[in-house]
């Protein structure tokens, strides 16, 4: 069994990013900038945001974390985004999800300038991604594709089952795999016989938020398991959507949690921020 080491790979990506940032600064006098908007005081969200800011700093990317109280109105949030859209120091804008219930996430994500949408959640980028055009790709599925590449895993012609159909992971994951010529099946919580699909899969990508849902008896010998789940147990430990101990003896490759897909997400966000900075440079030249 080969462990897909997202932590080590993300270190490599961060080094690449560092070099690219240094080049941008030297050759184009541009420092990439990222704004992260954090609404409310969810502990997990705060941790992720802090780690994004730290990674930016290490890479030489200018970053601001804009914290707003749970009680802000949608209008106030939209005004903040409008200001950031106009701020030339900021190449990327990321609104940490989930947002409080009184705020309409769709409206907020659509307010971000598509050219600063480093999360790839704006319908403009979603449409371009589905059409296989150049776009900001959502960091988590983008990171999974990079992982396949790095480990020499060919997805073309493979049967891939994606479990979970969220806008953030499942749907974009399926799109990227379709663009790469995989045969893709997307399952969700209403799927009647999940094992029927997963047993036929060369690759299973699971992103549902149910600890240890995927067991060894649901996969075929030599399957590749990509675990996007990040579940915090009562013990405080993180665990995935796949039963790692059970699956590890049956699959050919598996991502651990922690240390798998999670760290890749941050690496690809930094990549997207550089892409945004390069887009700005092109616009400014015109």
Q: How many residues bind ligand GUE (CB under 6 A)?
A: 17
Catalytic residue status for 52: yes
Strand order in the sheet with 159-163: 2-3, 253-254, 224-227, 203-206, 159-163, 183-187
CB of 25 vs ligand GUE, minimal distance in Å: 25
Query: Among 52, 171, 250, 271, which one carries the catalytic annotation?
Result: 52
Find out whether 189 is annotated in a ligand binding site: no
Q: Among 265, 267, 271, 277, which residue interacts with ligand GUE (rule: CB under 6 A)?
A: 265
Q: Does 96 bind ligand GUE (CB under 6 A)?
A: yes
Q: Does 94 bind ligand GUE (CB under 6 A)?
A: yes
Residues ≥6 apart with Cβ < 8 Å to 205 = 144, 160, 161, 162, 163, 173, 226, 228
Half-sphere exposure of 166 (CA within 13 A, CB side): 16
Q: Does 139 bind ligand GUE (CB under 6 A)?
A: yes
Measured from the CB atom, the residue of 48 and 62 that comes closer to ligand GUE is: 48
**Nearest Cα residue to 167 out of 206, 214, 120:** 120
Residues ≥6 apart with Cβ < 8 Å to 122 = 109, 110, 112, 114
Q: Does 165 bind ligand GUE (CB under 6 A)?
A: no
Q: Does 91 bind ligand GUE (CB under 6 A)?
A: no
Q: Does 95 bind ligand GUE (CB under 6 A)?
A: yes
Let me know how long the chain is: 286
Which residues are documented as binding site for NADP(+)? 164-166, 230
Q: Which residues bind ligand GUE (CB under 6 A)?
A: 47-48, 94-97, 119, 139, 230, 238, 257-259, 262-263, 265-266
């Amino acid at each position: 069994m080969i462990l897909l080491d997202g932590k080590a790979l993300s270190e490599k990506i961060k080094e690449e990013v560092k070099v690219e940032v240094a080049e941008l600064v030297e050759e184009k006098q541009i420092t990439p900038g990222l704004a992260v908007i954090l609404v409310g005081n969810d502990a997990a969200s705060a941790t992720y945001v802090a780690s994004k800011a730290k990674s930016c700093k290490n890479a030489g990317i200018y970053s601001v974390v804009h914290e707003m109280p749970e009680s802000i109105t949608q209008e106030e949030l939209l005004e903040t985004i409008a200001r950031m859209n106009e701020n030339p120091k900021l190449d990327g804008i990321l609104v940490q999800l989930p947002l409080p219930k009184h705020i309409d996430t769709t409206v907020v994500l659509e307010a971000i300038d598509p050219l600063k949408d480093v999360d790839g959640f704006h319908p403009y980028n979603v449409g371009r991604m589905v059409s296989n055009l150049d776009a900001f790709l959502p960091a988590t599925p983008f990171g999974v594709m990079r992982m396949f590449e790095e480990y020499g895993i060919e997805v073309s012609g493979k049967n891939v089952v994606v479990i979970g159909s969220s806008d953030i992971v499942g749907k974009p994951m399926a799109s990227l795999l379709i663009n790469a010529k995989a045969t893709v099946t997307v399952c969700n919580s209403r799927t009647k016989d999940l094992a029927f699909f997963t047993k036929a899969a060369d690759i299973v990508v699971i992103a549902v938020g149910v600890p240890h849902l995927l067991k060894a008896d649901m996969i075929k010998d030599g399957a590749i398991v990509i675990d996007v789940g990040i579940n915090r147990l009562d013990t405080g430990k993180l665990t995935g959507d796949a039963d790692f101990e059970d699956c590890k003896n049956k699959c050919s490759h598996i991502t651990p949690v922690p240390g798998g897909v999670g760290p890749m997400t941050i690496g690809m966000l930094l990549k997207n921020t550089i892409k945004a900075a390069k887009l700005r440079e092109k616009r400014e030249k015109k």
